Amino acid sequence: MTNEKKLALITGASRGIGRATAEIFAENGYDLILTCRDSMEELENLADSLRGSCAISCLPVQADMGKESDVARLFSDITHLDVLVNNAGMAYFGLLSRMTAREWHEVFAVNLDSCFYTCRAAIPLMLERHAGRIINVSSVWGAQGASMEVAYSASKGGMNAFTKALAKELAPSNIQVNAIACGVIDTAMNRHLSPEDMASLREEIPADRLGSPREAAALIFQTALAPAYMTGQIITIDGGWY
């Protein structure tokens, strides 16, 4: 028997949902590997805080999850993995007709290619133990589609299909794959909206408010603890919006 702590890898963890997810996993005794693309100072401060308050191991890594080489470097020193949370993501707000090919490919690289790279690397580690949890952070726009956010919606729709297909592939190996489809969560990703747009949006949500990163993170953690028979699900948290 081993007393080795469980290890979770959370991508895009320097702020918002990723940060809140790191905090909840740490509070529950998980050792962590956390990534970000640009906000390394914030990530290092978070890692220091979690080490001190939760007595865990926490490794911050700067990596662009949409680059195969960065993901390969990240996994080169990982010998086991219990939970993978694919949270790294980016939005693009604007007319499709004005979007460049470079911008389109960047959205898909960060939001969808990253899932391919991380899952491909994580699966062998999970197969060794015949156990593992993969949780992809998606969006209600992946099912509903959003005007002015075509690339984002398409990438999250792809993530949902990816989740369902991979869950079927890995179910015989006792590895569960699920996605959390978030509604409007109070993060920096929504700061492009004006106060008037935010007020109008809030009126559409039956809960009459935005969700908090902590609420989304709590659902991610609960999904990591869910019965093994729950796999291939797109679980929505949106205040009753859709």
> Is 30 considered catalytic here?
no
Using CA atoms, how far apart are residues 220 and 226, in angstroms rounded to an integer?
Answer: 10
- CA proximity to 151, closest of 87, 88, 100: 100
Q: Strands of the chain (E only): list them.
A: 7-10, 31-36, 58-62, 83-86, 132-139, 175-182, 234-237
d(CA 51, CA 32): 10
Rg (CA), the chain: 17
**For strand 83-86 and strand 7-10, is the pairing parallel, antiparallel, or unpaired?**
parallel
Which has the closest alpha carbon to 143: 132, 128, 154?
A: 154
Chain position carrying tokens 């640009």: 38
**Terminal Cα distance for the chain, rounded:** 46
- Say how far apart CA 198 and CA 3 lie, in whole Å: 48
- What residues pair up with 133 in beta bridges, in sequence order? 83, 176
Residue in 30, 92, 117, 152 annotated catalytic: 152
Tell me the two tokens of residue 38.
């640009």
- Catalogue the active-site residues: 152
